[in-house]
Amino acid sequence: MAAVVLADCIPLRADRRLAVTRDVTLVMAGALLTAAAAQVEISLGFTPVPITGQTFAVLLVGAGFGCRRGAASQLLYVALGAIGLPFYAGGDGGWTAATGSTAGYLVGFVAAAAAVGWLAERRQDRRVDTSIPAMLAGTAVIYLFGLVWLAHSLEVDATTAVEYGLTPFLIGDAIKLAVAGVLLPAAWRIAS
């Protein structure tokens, strides 16, 4: 009897190790994808918030990896940048960059990946027409955190924060959102 129970447990442990290895690999890959996307940067001059590919990576990772792995990948991204790796926009990194005027967007990345991942786990990402609302929700989460911190950090009113941190990015985010929605089926095949 004990041998049967032990034999039944061994495959579970091997399966669990494989699952943990896969999760860790996906979390690291999501953080690295976001770091790579951050290097696609266009500075606007009038705002400390640059145009980057980060939001694209956050939405894709959240939807493709699910709530926990998506949020963990973005938390790892933020942490690695905060300790000084050149992971943030334009190769920036360190504590000052992590807590600067764009810190709210970084926190928003974690929350957005979790939110989009949660929606994806409820099958809101399997088709383009259902993934767009999930992506919009994730984008709104990023902006919510980003704008609140931007207004606080720059000591500006809400209207100015929107002018600096939202309005210039709407067209680009619509394009990123559409591309991420099209790529979701492939992301799920990789993550599943």
- Write the pLDDT tens digit of every residue in 80-107: 999 999 999 989 999 999 999 999 999 9
Strands (E) across the chain are located at 41-42, 51-52
Residue 15 lies in a domain: no
SS3 content of the chain, % helix, strand, coil (to 5): 80, 5, 20
* Integer CA distances (angstroms), 70 to 60, 87, 175, in order: 9, 17, 21
Supply the mean pLDDT for the chain. 87
Q: What is the mean pLDDT of residues 10-30?
A: 82
Residue 179 lies in a domain: yes
Closest CA to 147 of 159, 131, 134, 137: 159
Q: How many domains is the chain built from?
A: 1
Task: Provide the pLDDT confidence category of residue 5 given band limits of 50, 70 and 90.
Answer: very low
Distance CA 41, CA 52 (A): 4
Q: Which of 36-40, 55-59, 119-123, 129-133 has the lowest mean pLDDT?
A: 129-133
Residue 26 lies in a domain: no
Q: Is the pLDDT of residue 167 over 60?
A: yes
Residue 185 lies in a domain: yes
Q: What is the mean pLDDT of residues 32-46?
A: 93
Domain that residue 101 falls in: 31-191
Give the residue, 7 or 111, on which the prediction is more confident: 111
Residue 108 lies in a domain: yes
Residue 104 lies in a domain: yes
Question: For the domain that residue 46 is a member of, what is the CATH number?
Answer: 1.10.1760.20
Residue 98 lies in a domain: yes
Task: Provide the pLDDT confidence category of residue 2 given band limits of 50, 70 and 90.
Answer: very low
Tell me the three state secondary structure of residue 51: strand
Residues 31 and 38 sit within 8 Å (Cβ to Cβ): no
Q: Is the pLDDT of residue 43 over 60?
A: yes
Residue 43 lies in a domain: yes
